[in-house]
Amino acid sequence: MTSDEVLVHPFVPGDVVAEATYHLTRESLVRYAGASGDFNAIHYRDDVAAEVGLPGVLAHGMLTMGLAVQPVVDWLRDPARVLDYQVRFTRPVVVHPTEGADVSVRAVIGKVDEAERTARIDLTVTVEGGTVLGKAQVLVRLP
């Protein structure tokens, strides 16, 4: 479904409702740190990340989580339709100093509750082919 199409129910489990890829850079992490107030050095210093045994500088978990739900918010055209959102962090997003990292999101209808006029949207969130968020689900109010 493209952003130009009208959001019209009925939806069926398995329908892909949104897909997006977001490119993160080290600058993205610095900007997010400033906005969030999370200045933990693992998000911008390779030496500190290495000292604590990490494979490199990591994207903030909440940044990854926010990026993952954004295609659903765009599809809904109304963030107030998001009723609940939960994820499990399964793998860190390592942001290479020059190449960055691409976070890919695919949002699929998992379940529809006609009585409640809600749908569970299941998110697949990957970086370099590996899943970074597990059990990523968004409960939304249908139009």
pTM over 0.85: yes
* CA angle 113–116–122, rounded 5-degree value: 45
The answer to whether residue 9 scores a pLDDT higher than 80 is no
Kindly state the percentage of the chain with pLDDT values over 70: 94
Cα gap 127→142, rounded to integer Å:
29
Cα gap 16→106, rounded to integer Å:
7
pLDDT at 8: 65
Give the pLDDT confidence of 88-108 residue by residue, as tens digits.
999 999 999 999 999 999 999
* 141: three-class secondary structure by DSSP: strand
Q: Which domains does the chain have, with CATH numbers?
A: 16-23+60-141 (3.10.129.10)
* 60: three-class secondary structure by DSSP: coil
Report, as an integer, the average pLDDT of 36-61.
97
pLDDT at 50: 97
pLDDT at 1: 47
Q: What is the overall mean pLDDT for the chain?
A: 94
Q: What is the biggest distance separating any 2 CA atoms in the chain, rounded to whole angstroms?
A: 54
pLDDT at 143: 81
pLDDT at 114: 93
Are 104 and 125 contacting, i.e. CB atoms less than 8 angstroms apart?
Answer: yes
**Structure-block tokens of residue 35:** 């906005």
Cα gap 143→131, rounded to integer Å:
30
